[in-house]
Structure formats: C-alpha cells, structure tokens
Amino acid sequence: MQTEYDSCAKSIYDDGTYLNSNADLHQEDSAYKAQLVIELLASLSAKSVLEVGFGAGEVIRLIASDCPGIQFHGCDVSPDAAKFWAEKQAPNLSFSLSNLLESDEKADVVLCLDAFEHVDDYLGFLRKLKEHGSHFIFDILMDICVM
C-alpha cells in the first residue's frame, strides 16, 4: 500500500525539489567514486555494466572512458537528472530514463552508487536487483545521522 509520504518522496526526483537542493547532483565526488569502481572492475572479466540510479551520469561516464572494452548503460527514473546526460558522452555508454527493476536488462556487473538512501523498500529493491546481474558493486552512503 502506497502512503502519502511515499508519493511525496518519489516526486522530489521529477518535480525539481531534489535538483533545487542539489544543483549539480553531487558530481563533485564523481572522480573518486569512479576510480574505486575502475579498480574493482579490473578484477572482473565484465563485458557489460548497468548502473541504477546514476543521477547526472558523471561517474559512469568516467568509468566508461577508462574501460573502452566494456559496454555501459545507466538507468535513472529522474527527468531532472536526464537534463545532465547530453554532456556525458562516450562511445560505449548509453542512458535511459527508466526503472531498471521494471525491465529485463541484464549485465555482468550492476552498479548502485549512493542510491539506497533514495529507496524506501531497500530489501525489496535488492531482491529485484539480483535478477539483473552476476556481480554487484554498491556504495552506500553512511554519513547521514541524527545530531
């Protein structure tokens, strides 16, 4: 059952609310995150990578540029985030304004970087996510606290 809170929480990603509070969608940390993922991918024989909830797309663009032998695809549900994608080009990179969990897309590796804090039902999210890949790389935001 969807609550009023759930519908409000989902709408902040397509009504400008989240973008107004986070004008660059946290791109300042992209190079650091990309380098960590590149190091992890070096230990896998991946030919395809999906990123779910990739926001502005800078992390996946940096990774794709460094790993030309791998096909990358980013899925995000936010039309506000999609405004950034035109400038995030690489020959082995594509984007879609879609919910990966509602698709049949699969990849060798699924990236989920700083997305869990935007998902109400994270256990259900993980159960559905496992159908889309063989390997998973997660970055879970840990700096939210009550002070």
Provide the pLDDT for residue 26: 55
CA 76 to chain centre: 7
**Of the candidates 104, 30, 38, 34, the residue with the CA atom closest to the CA atom of residue 70:** 38
Q: Kindly state the percentage of the chain with pLDDT values over 70.
A: 77
Res. 27: pLDDT tops 90: no
| pLDDT the model gives residue 101 | 87
Q: What is the helix (H) or strand (E) element at residue 48, kind and residue range?
A: strand 48-52
- The type of residue at 136 is F
Neighbour count for residue 142 (Cβ, 10 Å): 7
- What stretches of 63-132 adopt beta strand conformation (E)? 71-76, 93-97, 107-113
Whether residue 8 is predicted with pLDDT greater than 70 in this model: the reply is: no
Q: What is the pLDDT of residue 134?
A: 95
Q: What is the pLDDT of residues 40-94, one digit of tens each?
A: 999 999 999 999 988 888 999 999 999 999 999 999 888 887 888 888 889 999 9
Average per-residue pLDDT in the chain? 81
Give the per-residue pLDDT at 11: 61
Instruction: Look at residue 128 in the predicted model and tell me its pLDDT.
Output: 92
C-alpha angle 39-114-74 in degrees, rounded to nearest 5: 75
